[in-house]
Chains A and B, each alone.
Chain A
Amino acid sequence: MVVLLRWQIFSIYGVALLSIWLAARQALLSQSDPPQFAARIAVDLAPLWGVVLLGIYGIGSVAYGVIALRDHKEVSGVLEQEVAEVKKELQRLGILDAYQK
């Protein structure tokens, strides 16, 4: 089984989308009646709309990720308490004293 690299997969998608876009433009231009302005804008600028949609999706994903990322503020205090207890124990065992001399 052939394993494709990531850039190869993106290239295949890119070629496929480019082909669809060119075919759509060709179909629009080969109509007997002149195409409407809105249709021309939609088809001719389809790659731009694609990039814009991708950008919106990306920004939305980051925004969602930041909002949903849990901030466990209380953990810091708990850890510092645990560290203090561990230090006491290390002192009791003589470990802290051994290298602080």
Chain B
Amino acid sequence: MLYSVILPTYNERENLPIIVFMLDQVFAKHNLQYEIVIVDDNSPDGTLQVAQTLQKHYGKEKIAILSRPGKLGLGSAYLEGLQKVSKGQRIIIMDADLSHHPKYIPQMIRIMDASSSNHNKKVDIVSGSRYLLQSPESGVCGWDLKRKITSRGANVLAQFLLNPRGCTDLTGSFRLYERHALEKILPRVQCTGYAFQMEILVLAQREGYCIQDVPIVFIDRMYGESKLGPREIVLYLKGLLHLFFHT
């Protein structure tokens, strides 16, 4: 079983070698075959050169690179990485900026493997959740009160309007997918921004795919920089309304 980790990058020169090293360690420790698909959108900081250096060290079988001419969006980065480059039967989507720690991957795989023998409850998507409030392993690091209120407010609104049974973190972006599930859903996703991740899960549920949450801690390392401005909030609300009327 080959695991493909799709890593969209933009200005990740510093973090990329670290996340690749950590991923390699985790997969090697658990004796798992993997490839990392780096999708770089012409980062001005030289992320592509870093990726090429990593490819020379780890080999082309483990590091695949897709270089794009500019910032073309996260959705298309995932789609192109999936369709044009990745070969794995299972796909891991995560952030390259170390907000998602690779140590959670083996647990995600265990959940998916354990469900494989049970045809009634085969898990097709394992989603890392910051909001499994009953679990001590779930949560965040580096969020102030305003961020927590915004995030929880968005989540409560989405839960009320969309009722995604069993999914506690709709906007999370650390997930393990069976390849066939992602191949079917990803081309249909229309939302952008935070609603993009939400639409994947909602469409997956509507298609009958089984989703299970696993607790993770999200580490926000962008100290003092806000990734949640008015534009992102408006995009999110528009996406939420789109899903309310179309799913």
Contacts and interface: CB of A to CB of B under 8 A. Distances in A.
Interface residues of B, number: 45
Interface residues of A, number: 29
A75 B103 CA distance: 13
A26 interface: no
A58 to B, nearest CB: 6
A80 to B, nearest CB: 9
A5 B246 contact: yes
A68 B133 contact: yes
A76 interface: yes
How would you classify the secondary structure of chain A's contact residues: helix, strand, loop or mixed?
Answer: helix
A83 B245 CA distance: 44
A65 B101 CA distance: 23
B227 interface: no
Given A68-B133, A99-B46, A58 B18 contact: no
Contacts of B131: 65, 69
Interface string A44-67: 000000000000001001100110
A71 B139 contact: yes
B228 interface: no
Contacts, number: 89
A76 B206 CA distance: 37
B49 interface: yes
Contact of A70 (B54, B140, B149, B221): B140
A21 B110 CA distance: 51
Contact of A72 (B50, B139, B153, B156): B139
B21 A75 contact: no
Given A69-B152, A98-B56, A99-B49, A90 B162 contact: no
A89 B21 contact: yes
A66 B148 contact: yes
Nearest to A54: B160
A70 B131 CA distance: 8
Given A6-B243, A71-B143, A95-B54, A83 B98 contact: yes
Nearest to A64: B133
Nearest to B49: A99
Interface in B109-142: 130-131, 133, 136, 138-142
Given A6-B245, A98-B57, 12 more contacts: A61-B156, A62-B156, A65-B131, A65-B152, A65-B155, A69-B152, A70-B217, A72-B141, A72-B217, A76-B221, A95-B54, A99-B53
16 contacts: A5-B247, A65-B131, A69-B130, A69-B131, A69-B139, A70-B138, A70-B139, A70-B217, A73-B141, A75-B217, A82-B22, A83-B18, A93-B57, A96-B17, A99-B46, A99-B53
Q: Nearest 9 A-B pairs (CB), nearest first? A: A70-B139, A65-B152, A68-B133, A99-B53, A75-B141, A98-B53, A61-B156, A72-B141, A72-B217
